[in-house]
Amino acid sequence: MDVNIRGKNVGITDRFEQYVESKTEKVAGLLPRAQSFEVRVSRQSDRSPQNGDQVELTLIGPGPVIRAESAGADKYTAFDMAYGRILERIRRMKDRQQDRRGRGRVSLGDAAASDFGTIDVTPAPLEVLESVATGGIPVVGETEEQYSPVVIRSKEFPAERLSVEDAVDQMELVGHDFFLFVETDSGRPSVVYRRKGWNYGVITLAEA
């Protein structure tokens, strides 16, 4: 597994490189087929170094990309926290794979027909559906010059066709609270999201 370390506004010493490489041995043991371990270190503020450093980790395939990031008083502290999150996501992925061995995949339609009792997914509550339908943000006016403290950023990603369980796996690996995808069997745009504990919800768009 290749280990690539990059620094932005912060020096990368030989000692830090050796520290990172010693830690990645455990990752290579858990995922022997992993190809690359990317480490990006940046200073949170050039003018105020006491604010600390931020470390972003990316573990590349084969399979889904696993990411984690954290900030700390220095690059060693930030790396340790992000590294712990990477290990936790690897363990969750392996646990879920182990749990699913021997079980057939369930289509979204079949799961919905049984009120999602056959898989570890909980349907979204009514208030969440209503919030999504209405945008979740109060309308303050129609004029373009109307000031609003709300900043909406948009991103575009290629659509992935996945089962609900695979979408949950992808969400866990990148550390997000939700994941957009196209459900394999139905072909409908869907989103899985994290609830309390190990509970998840799923929202699917249906044609009007």
Structure tokens at 130: 């209503």
CA distance 200 to 128: 13
pLDDT, residue 105, reads 58
DSSP label of 150: -
Per-domain residue ranges of the chain: 2-100, 108-135+154-204
List CB contacts of 139: < 8 A, sequence separation 6 or more: none
CB-based contacts of 117: which residues, under 8 Å, 6+ apart? Answer: none
Q: What is the pLDDT of residues 141-195, one digit of tens each?
A: 444 455 556 667 777 777 778 888 888 877 777 767 788 888 888 888 888 887 7
Highest CATH level, class, for 108-135+154-204: alpha beta
Residue range 54-95, pLDDT digits in tens: 899 998 877 778 888 888 888 998 999 899 888 888 888 777
pLDDT of residue 135: 58
pLDDT confidence of residue 86: 87
The class that CATH gives domain 2-100 is alpha beta
Q: In the prediction, which pLDDT does 2 show?
A: 86
Distance CA 202, CA 180 (A): 10
Peptide bond into 123 cis (omega under 30): no
Q: What confidence score (pLDDT) does residue 41 get?
A: 92
Provide the 10 A C-beta neighbour count for residue 162: 18
Query: How does pLDDT run across 24-47, given as a tens digit for each residue?
Result: 888 888 888 888 899 999 987 655
Summarize pLDDT for 101-155 with one digit per residue, the tens.
555 555 556 665 555 555 555 666 666 666 665 655 444 444 445 555 666 777 7
pLDDT band for 50, please (50, 70, 90 cuts).
low
